[in-house]
Amino acid sequence: MPTSPPALTVAGLRKSYGDVNVLHDVAFTVREGEIFGLLGSNGAGKTTAVETIQGLRRRDAGTISLFGLDPVTDADEIRHRHLVGAQLQTSALPDRLKVGEALRLFAALAGDLVDWRALSDRWQLAPLERRAFGALSGGQRQRLFLALALVNQPRLVFLDELTQGLDAAARRQTWELLDEVRAGGTTIVLVTHFMDEAERLCDRIGVLHEGRLSYEGRPADLVTAVGGPVHVRFRLDEPFRLDGLDRVRGVVGADVLHGSADVRCHAGACVPVIAELSRRGLAPDDLVLQRPTLEDAFVTLTNPIRPVPAPSGALIESELS
């Protein structure tokens, strides 16, 4: 992605509740026009971080810049310029409020920057305009919240656990909507603990673990660095046919268990491995390449027992001590 001015810069962010330190010197940058994922397990500090960044909670230390403005001291200007929109983790509306009423009300509060009817059509809410909020399905509620978060045409929108509780079809539909939002020029900070969601949507990610940022960068770079080997698996009844395969550069192990071969190698060794299998007369019709996922990398990164190699310095060194 081309370099662009940052939409958000966070440095040295700290937040505590009494004796409990929730955020420890968190620092990251969100580039304008990207989808940035803030990842972490439940309790990692994700919601506290984004609510503090938006000025909804007072920070104890650190600096925050939203398009060059501070969310606390410049809050009025941020609102006046309609820079930020948000869908919070605990978003809710009165059960009897109708969808059309909510859209019309929020549009008016934002200064009627957009025609609420056009917004309703864009997010496929027109058939639901007379339906009460309490009667909406989970996917319908999320579509409504996303529309309300964009009613002021923000340059940056925060979406906190947008797909939590949705079924698989509703999640995929929501992902398509987020692609549309970004295509329209809006920068997105997506807070999630779903690794498949982050891998599918995010240009870059920041991983929060116990209140500290332990990684910032591209999901693929983290997977390559700490996700583990690629597995080449296929049915094999003659284990001796893998003898010496570990001499192929990039192969880290090969064995056969219960008639199933498992060759473990670095990503760049997949082609040489398959070529060597072919040279040995092996052409299995059930061969599967199982690549490591972002979830694999996340589990490794947030496991304090296992050592983690650094991908080009993107891991935060203090996390590894």
What pLDDT is recorded for position 239?
93
The predicted-structure confidence for 215-269, as pLDDT tens digits, reads as follows 999 999 999 888 889 999 999 999 999 999 999 999 999 999 999 999 999 988 9
**What per-residue confidence (pLDDT) applies to 174?**
85
**Residue 3 pLDDT:** 56
By the 10 Å C-beta count (0-12 exposed, 13-18 middle, 19+ buried), 59 is classed as buried
The pLDDT score that the predictor gives to residue 316 is 52
Domains annotated on the chain, with CATH: 6-83+154-224 (3.40.50.300), 229-290 (3.30.70.980)
What does the pLDDT read at residue 305? Answer: 56
Listed range (22-31, 160-169, 180-189, 291-300) with the worst mean pLDDT = 160-169
Please give the model's pTM, rounded to 2 decimal places: 0.82
Q: What is the pLDDT of residues 57-79, one digit of tens each?
A: 999 999 999 999 999 999 999 99
DSSP letter at 68 equals T
How far lies 320's CA from each of 10, 58, 114, 280, in Å?
21, 28, 48, 43
Cβ(294)–Cβ(227) under 8 Å?
A: yes
Nearest to 156 by CA among 3, 1, 45, 30: 30
What was the pLDDT predicted at 105? 93
What's the pLDDT at 177? Answer: 84
Rounded mean pLDDT, 167-172: 84
Separation between Cα atoms, residue 8 and residue 69, nearest integer Å: 9
- Give the mean pLDDT of 292-318: 67
Q: Confidence band (pLDDT; 50, 70, 90) for 167?
A: confident
Alpha helices for the chain (secondary structure H): 46-53, 75-80, 99-109, 116-122, 138-149, 168-183, 195-201, 219-226, 270-279, 294-301
What type of residue sits at position 91?
S
Task: Quickly state the pLDDT bin for 204 (edges 50, 70, 90).
Answer: very high
Q: What percent of the chain has pLDDT over 90?
A: 64
Which residue in this structure is represented by tokens 């310029």? 81
Rg, Å, the chain Cα set: 24
Looking at residue 321, what is its pLDDT?
Answer: 32
In this predicted structure, what is the pLDDT of residue 154? 93
Question: Quick check: 98 and 106 in contact, CB under 8 A?
Answer: no
Do the beta carbons of residue 252 and residue 264 sit within 8 Å? yes
pLDDT tier for residue 318 given thresholds of 50, 70 and 90: very low
